[in-house]
Amino acid sequence: MYKYHCLNPIAPVGLEKFDEDFTGTEKVQDADAILVRSALMCDMEFDSKLKVIARAGAGVNNIPLERCAEEGIVVFNTPGANANGVKELVIAGMLLAARDIIGGINWVQEHEEDGDIARITEKKKKLFSGTELDGKKLGVIGLGAIGVLVANTATHLGMEVYGYDPYVSVDSAWKLSRSIQHAKTVDELYKECDYITIHVPATNDTKGMIDKDSISLMKKGVVILNFARDILVNGEDMVDALVSGAVKHYVTDFPTPEIAGVKGAIVIPHLGASTEESEDNCAKMAVKEIMDYLKNGNIVHSVNYPDCDMGEKGENPRITILHRNIPNMLGQFTALLAKANMNISLLTNKSRKEYAYTMIDTEGEVTEEVEKAISQIDGVLKVRVLL
Ligand SMILES: NC(=O)C1=CN([C@@H]2O[C@H](COP(=O)(O)OP(=O)(O)OC[C@H]3O[C@@H](n4cnc5c(N)ncnc54)[C@H](O)[C@@H]3O)[C@@H](O)[C@H]2O)C=CC1
Ligand SMILES: O=C(O)CCC(=O)C(=O)O
């Protein structure tokens, strides 16, 4: 029986997909699998029993990926499963910046007791007038699951859309509307656009990518939207830009003490993926990934190990080995099995940067001695024998 623990609430429709070989546990130290959304895991100690973490969502900057890889813990995310939820809120964010909907609604609430509200509305509404998105230029940085949806939808609102992503995947490129203009440099996008929205992962390379230098290249009064992660934007520089009017609105899904009360900032409490549909999609995908890994050894949508899929495990035992990507690992595995007089019926080996994964279907029993001998090979991080 495998045990799973949820560090955040995970949609029941996903958890219901676990079959009879799985049960929930309140004790994280007993878990073979952890499901998580945004809970911070960077300082957590992991029990040697833990084999897999599934992030029901896209961003994985709350999980220590490298340490997990070293400890033989495979980390998954659920690419694209919440992209539509975020896209819809980004479009709402652009509309909130273009029209003073929030100011107008607040004004009505302040005058809700006023019997004359209908008449004074017509006098006061000019205080909350705005502009339209039609004809404006939108720059989308990062054309992954969310960026592509935002870019394509904005074209239907009449916006002229520029996209920038030096690492765009073939899949995303296929999905992108032909009317999106390809910005060859991010500076080109900064200079051209009235609205700029960022949809890149938070990494050492992207941290602080929006700062006083990048803002200085943008049009005065630009609107910047950040539904990716707070650390992509230098908070101090953004406050200065809002105060000076260099940035008209900063629409962000990430409240920080620095930005929360600043005039011009439109701050949402991380609601991008908080829709029934996104939560259900993420939970279902995360549970599927965990079951497939624990029962079949397959890795699909990992963020710290290579994806590797040998289909459903059959009658024969399957040995799965997480190991370093160094020479002669396969040679040592096969030599060891040959010495134990074992036949290999199927073998796959995949690598990703410093780490690799080998799956071996064998004919005949895998003894404890064989399992132990594999785990003692230098560079092996975790061995499992699936029966
Ligand atoms: N507000 C919310 O609730 C949510 C926020 N997110 C955040 O949005 C981010 C993006 O999500 P997805 O689109 O699903 O991820 P994704 O992985 O599908 O797309 C990310 C894209 O960014 C591109 N990229 C990476 N570095 C870049 C750079 N320096 N310049 C330009 N492009 C670069 C990649 O090539 C990729 O196409 C996530 O990493 C997460 O932090 C995701 C889901 C929900
Ligand atoms: O689970 C959530 O609500 C956060 C979603 C998110 O930020 C992500 O998927 O990266």
Residue pointed to by tokens 């020479």: 327
In angstroms, rounded to a whole number, what is the distance separating the alpha carbons of residues 20 and 353?
36
**Residue span of the structural domain in which 354 resides:** 308-387
Which of 37, 199, 210, 281 has most ligand 1 atoms within 8 Å of CB, for mutation? 199
CA 56 to chain centre: 8
Q: Give DSSP secondary structure letters for 332-368.
A: HHHHHHHHTT-EEEEEEEEEETTEEEEEEEEES---H
pLDDT for the residue numbered 172: 98
Q: Beta strand pairing status for 22-24 and 318-324?
A: unpaired
**How many other C-beta atoms are found inside a 10 Å radius of the C-beta of residue 280?**
17
pLDDT digits (tens, 9 = 90+) for 318-339: 999 999 999 999 999 999 999 9
Please say if 324 is a catalytic residue: no
pLDDT for the residue numbered 364: 87
Residues 222 and 234 in one domain: yes
CA 80 – ligand 1 centroid, Å: 10
Asked if 59 and 40 touch (Cβ cutoff 8 Å), the reply is no
pLDDT for the residue numbered 338: 96
The answer to whether residue 380 is domain-embedded is yes
Residues 155 and 185 in one domain: yes
The structure's pTM equals: 0.96
Show the DSSP H helices in 60-211 as ranges. Answer: 65-70, 83-98, 101-110, 117-124, 145-156, 170-175, 186-192
Q: Report whether residue 273 contacts ligand 1, using a CB cutoff of 6 Å.
A: yes
Q: Report whether residue 165 contacts ligand 1, using a CB cutoff of 6 Å.
A: yes
pLDDT digits (tens, 9 = 90+) for 104-149: 999 999 999 999 999 999 999 999 999 999 999 999 999 999 999 9
pLDDT digits (tens, 9 = 90+) for 253-285: 999 999 999 999 999 999 999 999 999 999 999
pLDDT digits (tens, 9 = 90+) for 188-244: 999 999 999 999 999 999 999 999 999 999 999 999 999 999 999 999 999 999 999
Q: Report whether residue 250 contacts ligand 1, using a CB cutoff of 6 Å.
A: no
Residues 190 and 295 in one domain: no
Q: How many helices (H) does the chain have, and how many strands (E)?
A: 13, 16
Which of 75, 149, 165, 251 has most ligand 1 atoms within 8 Å of CB, for mutation? 165
Counted domains in the chain = 3
CA 148 – ligand 2 centroid, Å: 18
The answer to whether residue 116 is domain-embedded is no
pLDDT digits (tens, 9 = 90+) for 8-61: 999 999 999 999 999 999 999 999 999 999 999 999 999 999 999 999 999 999
Residues 184 and 257 in one domain: yes
pLDDT for the residue numbered 134: 98
Q: Two tokens at 195?
A: 């609205």
**Which residue is closest in CA terms to ligand 1's atom 8?**
228
pLDDT for the residue numbered 68: 98
Please say if 301 is a catalytic residue: no
Q: What are phi and psi of 308, to 5 degrees?
A: -160, 120
CATH number where 278 lies: 3.40.50.720
Q: Report whether residue 229 contacts ligand 1, using a CB cutoff of 6 Å.
A: yes
Asked whether residue 248 carries a pLDDT value surpassing 90, the answer given is yes
Q: In the β-sheet with 355-363, what is the strand arrangement from edge to edge?
A: 343-352, 355-363, 318-324, 380-386
CA 283 – ligand 1 centroid, Å: 19
**Which residue is closest in CA terms to ligand 2's atom 1?**
37
Asked if 299 and 74 touch (Cβ cutoff 8 Å), the reply is yes
In angstroms, rounded to a whole number, what is the distance separating the alpha carbons of residues 55 and 201?
14
pLDDT for the residue numbered 43: 97
Residues 15 and 66 in one domain: yes
Please say if 111 is a catalytic residue: no
pLDDT for the residue numbered 295: 98
**How many other C-beta atoms are found inside a 10 Å radius of the C-beta of residue 32?**
19
Q: What is the ipTM of this complex?
A: 0.99
In angstroms, rounded to a whole number, what is the distance separating the alpha carbons of residues 255 and 238?
13
Instruction: Give the contacts of 23 (CB within 8 A, at least 6 positions apart).
Output: 1, 2, 3, 4
Q: Report whether residue 148 contacts ligand 1, using a CB cutoff of 6 Å.
A: no
